[in-house]
Amino acid sequence: MIEKKNFYINGSWVAPKNQKDIQVINPATEKSCAVISLGGKEDINDAVLAAKEAFKTWGFSSKQERVELLEDFYVLYKKRWSDITDAIIQEMGAPKDFASKLQTGTGASHTKSFIRYLKEFEFEKPLGEHAKNQRLIYEPKGVCALITPWNWPINQVTLKVIPALASGCTMILKPSELAPLSAMIIAELIDEAKFPKGVFNLVNGDGAGVGTHISSHPEIDMVSFTGSTRAGRLISKNAAETIKRVCLELGGKGGNIVFADSYKNAVRDGIRNVMSNSGQSCDAPTRMLVEKSIYKRAVDEAVDEANKINVDQASKKGDHIGPVISKTQYDKIINLIESGISEGATLAAGGPELPNGLNKGYFIKPTIFTNVTNDMRIAKEEIFGPVLSIIPFETEDEAVNIVNDTSYGLGNYLQTEDKEKAHRVAKKLRSGCVYINGNAADAGTPFGGYRQSGNGREGGVWGLEEYLEVKTVTGWK
């Protein structure tokens, strides 16, 4: 078992001031795979002091210096690929191939993309031809708290840490206490790349402790948070007193409109998309809306595809899905599956029993409900497990209204071969991203939500700008 009790503060690994240890549980085995410490106020104060001191010089570092350090980091990241992958397999039970290609892969692609955007970014420019003596200067925001979830651990960490470093901010990272191991490798890489001490700090902890302290800390200028809408609300309240910038990337309840003229594999691809990462993606298209004329065929295909998805151990190679993150999450998902049955939806695939042959670990069968109405809990609440609701519709407007009838607005999907309809519907869907015909977004596109899915945009130039202030200087000759 790995012991990872120390925090990375001011360029060194230091022992926590108040020692409270917790076990990190591998959800595939239900066994402890590591011990970490939870920080307290004193640890946070030390990290904030270090970050504040480091900002005095790092905040004025040159773009070239930051580019070179990030390029070194990128090289080191690729060298530690298999260590990062192993950490993700252990901490969240992600299957081997998925953990390597997709989970670890996102960290590399975000780093590469941010380096490119940093190189192109103009930190100083005139307001325009009409006002050349008015100078706009983009400056780093200051000391940032970065709070990340467990479901795409390295994706979320790199989406925050890399642009914060690139913009000249200093920071305290608090990764999820459920999946802190891959984030600790990022701290090792930052150390190895020789970023100045105090620029990056890592303190482990839970939401109620460290999360609350950093959200309300008067010397922290900004909180960038990815996680549940519930925690996003609490962070906003805690941050309000100190008027810090709060960037929120929250939950979702994506819709996937499958029109009768969609491409051949649209339904099957939709099923794979929802079940990927065991359904634990904020932009998973968990409500599939199917045009009535193809409803029966779509349901048959969906059930067939769900039944083909294997559920198995994280340590194995292959394209199977693994467990969900924790017992708490497992119980919540099973409860929602049971609510679907009791509210009258038809259980067409999967269900609350353990998948065959797996009697240890938090495994859930790929589950499909049909005849779902949008007022059922399974259609309204973010389940965050391998569970899909299929809802029939007759007209384009009806489909759009059902998709938009949610408090969330993160990622929506639509499938049709009619280009004009695709463009029209994409504009009507109230979400930060709309994916047409299975096309994924490239690194560097802005990612974020409308409504209760958040208020930020991560990725590309938008991700950099979140960590910047813009200053106007007049009379610049």
Instruction: Name the site residues for ligand NAD (rule: CB under 6 A).
Output: 147-152, 156, 174, 176-177, 206-207, 211-212, 215, 226-228, 231, 234-235, 249-252, 282, 382, 384, 410, 449, 453-454
Phi, psi values for residue 123, rounded to 5° = -80, -15
User: What's the per-residue H, E or C state across 52-97?
Assistant: HHHHHHHCCCCHHHHHHHHHHHHHHHHHCHHHHHHHHHHHHCCCHH
Q: Which C-beta is closer to ligand NAD: that of 207 or that of 350?
A: 207
- Pick between residue 152 and residue 369 the one whose CB is nearest to ligand NAD: 152
- To the nearest 10°, report the CA torsion of 32, 85, 286, 425: 160
Q: Which is nearer to ligand NAD, 361 or 454 (CB)?
A: 454
Q: How far is the CB of 185 from ligand NAD (least distance, A)?
A: 17
Q: How near is the Cβ of 220 to ligand NAD at its closest, in Å?
A: 12
CB of 161 to ligand NAD, least distance (A): 14
Closest approach of ligand NAD to the CB of residue 309, in Å: 21
Q: Tell me the catalytic residues.
A: 249, 282
Going from the C-alpha of 50 to that of each of 170, 405, 455, the distances in angstroms are 9, 46, 29
Q: Rounded to the nearest whole angstrom, what is the least distance from the CB of residue 329 to ligand NAD in the complex? A: 7
- Nearest partner of 18 among 40, 45, 3, judged by Cα: 40
Q: Which is nearer to ligand NAD, 168 or 207 (CB)?
A: 207
Residue number with CB closer to ligand NAD (382 or 466):
382
Nearer to ligand NAD, 154 or 169 (CB): 154
